[in-house]
Amino acid sequence: MRIATWNVNSITARLPRLLAWLESSGADVLCLQEAKVAEEQFPVEQLRDLGYESAVHATGRWNGVAVLSRVGIEDVVKGLPGDPGFDGSVEPRAISATCGPLRLWSVYVPNGREVDHPHYAYKLQWFEALKAAVAGDAAGSRPFAVMGDYNVAPTDDDVYDRAAFEGATHVTAAERAALASLREAGLSDVVPRPLKYEHPFTYWDYRQLCFPKNRGMRIDLVYANAPFTGAVKDAYVDREERKGKGASDHAPVVVDLDL
């Protein structure tokens, strides 16, 4: 099986590229983040024409997550149990589904904005809720993964220049500790393997020629349990999909499994 995760940064803006990528990549399951549409606007029919079912949790112009599968979708759960919410509302940042032999979550972790911003505290609380929510599936015998945009670079090697992020979110000790705590639930990062690029970044800002200069971050991650990681045969960042007109500022992360 080939599964992937991709922050498309608006499925409306990215739809032609998404459809072309699904056809060329041969992905069986794709977890999406930042759909930025209401559920009724999600391109269910266009995706069905390619053989993909869609499970969507989205409410409008911000956030929004989905799982696309051509191996079936069952037991869909929208939202994160115990979600702390922000500014009085619960945002569409998590969705889970069973796709063939796999149980998967597509997650879009809060950005955090600035270290002294309430959104940063919300981000850390959200991680706590995520850890509690996935603990049961993580400990099970079924291959299980939490895939998506975590908005945390796990180590200094996962940013182009640690000094450039001094005092900023995405690299703080508290955020990295929150991410690392998922290992206590039985999950581990499956993508840091020998890859084509020395630093397999997944995100590059649109500004200041960050992509041509490879000023990126690795924040799109696949955290999985032992049955999942034991089946991994290959993992890579599809950096080519970040190139050209109309690209998302994130690249897909792809994992091949022998199940």
The amino acid at residue 60 is G
Query: What domain count does the chain have?
Result: 1
- pLDDT for res 61: 84
Whole-Å CA distances, 146 to 63, 88, 104, 113, 123: 17, 26, 6, 22, 16
Whole-model pTM?
0.96
Task: Please check whether residue 105 is in contact with residue 147, taking contact to mean a CB–CB distance below 8 angstroms.
Answer: yes
User: How confident is the model over 232-257, as pLDDT tens digits?
Assistant: 999 999 999 999 999 999 999 999 99
Per-residue model confidence as pLDDT tens digits over 180-233:
999 899 999 998 654 555 668 999 999 999 999 999 999 999 999 999 999 999
The residue segments making up the domain with residue 244 are 2-257
203 or 61, higher pLDDT: 203
Contact 94, 130 (CB under 8 A): yes
Rounded CA separation 100/67 (Å): 13
Q: What sign for the dihedral angle of Cα 232, 29, 205, 221? A: negative
The answer on pLDDT for 174 being more than 90 is yes
234: CATH:
3.60.10.10
* Phi-psi group of 124: left, alpha or beta (phi > 0 → left; psi -120 to 50 → alpha; rest → beta): alpha
Give me the chain's average pLDDT, please. 95
Average pLDDT over residues 39-65: 96
Tell me what the mean pLDDT of segment 48-70 comes to. 96
